Amino acid sequence: MVMQSQNQNNPILTNKRAFKGIPVIDLSCPDDAKHLIVNACQDYGFFKVINHGVPLWLVSQLENETMGFFNMRQSEKDKYCPPNPLGYRSNTIGTNGDVGWIEYLLFTSNDFPTNSKTFSSVAKEYVEAVRKLGCEILELVAEGLKIEPKNVLSRMLSDEKADTVFRLNHYPPCPDHRPTTNGRNPIGFGEHTDPQLISIARSNTTSGLQICLSDGTWVPVPPDHTSFFINVDDLLQVMTNGRFKSVRHRVVTDKLKSRVSMIYFGGPPLMEKISPIGSLIEPGEESLYHEFTWFEYKSYGYKTKLADDRLSFFHKGSHPLSEKDKTVAKEYVEALRKLGCEILELVAEGLKIEPKNVLSRMLSDEKADTVFRLNHYPPCPDHRPTTNGRNPIGFGEHTDPQLISIARSNTTSGLQICLSDGTWVPVPPDHTSFFINVDDLLQVQKCKE
C-alpha cells in the first residue's frame, strides 16, 4: 500500500499533480509496491520505504558507533581516517570548492578503516543489509516497468565488482543560524543529484533534508529514523530514458540539534556500459543519452561542482543533425579514428611496447565506445575578468576520461592547458592542424607498463 507523509497539510501544486507528501511504500506488499515505486520514481524520483527488513537494532548500533567517532577530538578523527582519498573530511565537499556545515566519513562498500573493530564490523553488516534492500527495490522497479529479466538492474549491485560507496554524515548544530539573503537556513550540504543508480538514506530524528519538485519548489522531508528514503540517481534516469528523474536534494542546518545520516550509494561495476534500456523506448521515441561507462561518468563527475548538471554532457540534445550533416560527421569521425590509431601505434613503438596495436586496437574495435562533440562558444558580452583576473570560463578545467582526444578549432583562441607546475598557458589556434590530449585511460595504461 502507499501512504502520504504527515505534516504536509497544504498541498503544493506541481506541473504533474498536487504534492501531498513524500510517497510511503510498504515493501511487505510487493504486488502493490512495484507499481507505486514506479509512480513515485516518475513523479518525484524519491520515496520512503517501510517494512524494509533491515534490523532496527543494527541501525541503532551503527548510529551509536558513528556518533562515538564524531564526538572524538578533532586530532583523533584526523588520525584514524585520513582522506586518502576517502575517509574523514569536514566542511569541504569534493575537490572543486564546494563547502558545507558538515563532517563525514566516506568508504567503499567493502573497506571500513575506522577507529574501532566493532564500528567497522557493524558498518559492514549494515551495508550488506542495505545492499540487499537496494536489490529488492530495483527488482520491483523492473517488475513495475515490465523489464525482463527482473535482475537487469539489481545485478549491477549484486556484482562482486559493484562500485558502491557508503557515507556517514554529521551536521553539528549551526551557531550562526541566521537565514541567508534568500531567506533559507545555512546549507549543510548543497543541492545536487547523486550519480549512481539509487541511494538509500536513513537519518536520526533531526530534520534538514529537502527535495526539489519538478516545478523548482523545495519541500522538507519529515525525518523518520525507522525507515529508509530512496533516491533515483543519474544512472537510473539514463537507463529509463528520462522516464525516472534523478532527484535534486540538499540539507539545511539546525541551530540546536545535530543531524546524522547514513547513505548507501549503489553503483555498478566501473566498466558497466550505461544506456537507455531498449524495451523502455517506445516506437518512434529517440534515445536521449549517449552510451557511456560508469567509469567515464564518474571521472567526469569528479571534475564538476556539486550543483552541476552532469548528465547534460551525455545528453544527445534536442536538435539532431540533418542526414547530410550526419554523413559528413560520420566520415570525419572515421578519418579521426584512423588518425588516433596511427598516433597510438606510434606511442606504442616509442615506448617499445609489443604488439604495436596494444593501444590502437581499442579504437579500431567495432565495440569501441567513442564520443564526438561539437562545441560553440558565442561571444561573451560580459567579458570583464573575474576576481582572479581570468576571463570568464567557457568550459571549466578538466581532464578527458578516454584514451586520447583529438581536437580542432577555428581561428579563435581560448583553449588553455595546465603545466605540471600549475601554470595555465594559452594554445595558439591553428585551424589546419589537430591537437591531441592524453586522457585518463592512457595515463593508467602508461602506469601499467
Across the strands, what pairs with 12?
Answer: 19
- CATH H-level, domain 2-309: superfamily: B-lactam Antibiotic, Isopenicillin N Synthase; Chain (2.60.120.330)
List b or e across 235-253, with b for residues whose CB sees 16 or more CB atoms inside 10 angstroms. Answer: bbbbbbbbbbbbbbbbbbb
Active site includes 259? yes
Q: What is the pLDDT along the chain (449 residues), one digit of tens a residue?
A: 444 443 443 444 444 457 889 999 999 999 999 999 999 999 999 999 999 999 999 999 999 999 999 999 988 888 877 777 678 888 777 766 677 889 999 888 677 777 788 888 999 999 999 999 999 999 999 999 999 999 999 999 999 999 999 999 999 998 775 655 555 567 889 899 999 999 999 999 999 999 999 999 999 999 999 999 999 999 999 999 999 999 999 999 898 999 999 999 999 999 999 999 999 998 888 899 999 999 999 988 888 888 888 898 888 864 455 566 667 778 888 899 999 899 999 998 999 999 989 998 998 888 888 888 888 877 876 666 655 555 667 788 889 989 999 999 888 888 999 999 989 999 999 988 999 999 898 887 654 44
Segments making up each domain of the chain, as ranges: 2-309, 323-379+397-448
How many whole angstroms separate alpha carbon 203 and alpha carbon 210?
A: 13
The single-letter DSSP state of residue 235 is H
- Catalytic choice (155, 259, 361, 390): 259
Q: What class is the 323-379+397-448 domain? A: mainly beta
Q: Please state, as a whole number, how many other Cβ atoms lie within 10 Å of the Cβ of residue 263.
A: 21
The gap from C-alpha 110 to its chain's centroid, in whole angstroms, comes to 19
Q: With contact defined as beta carbons under 8 Å apart, do 262 and 201 qualify?
A: yes
Closest CA to 166 of 206, 210, 137, 125: 125
Same fold, 2-309 and 323-379+397-448: yes
Determine the pLDDT at residue 10: 42
Determine the pLDDT at residue 227: 97
> Which cell numbers in the block locate residue 284?
518512434
The per-residue DSSP string of 63-111 comes to HHHHHHHHTS-HHHHHHHS--SSSEEEEEEETTTTEEEEEEEEEEETTB
How many whole angstroms separate alpha carbon 333 and alpha carbon 268?
A: 30
With a CB cutoff of 8 Å and minimum separation 6, the contacts of 315 are: 288, 289, 290
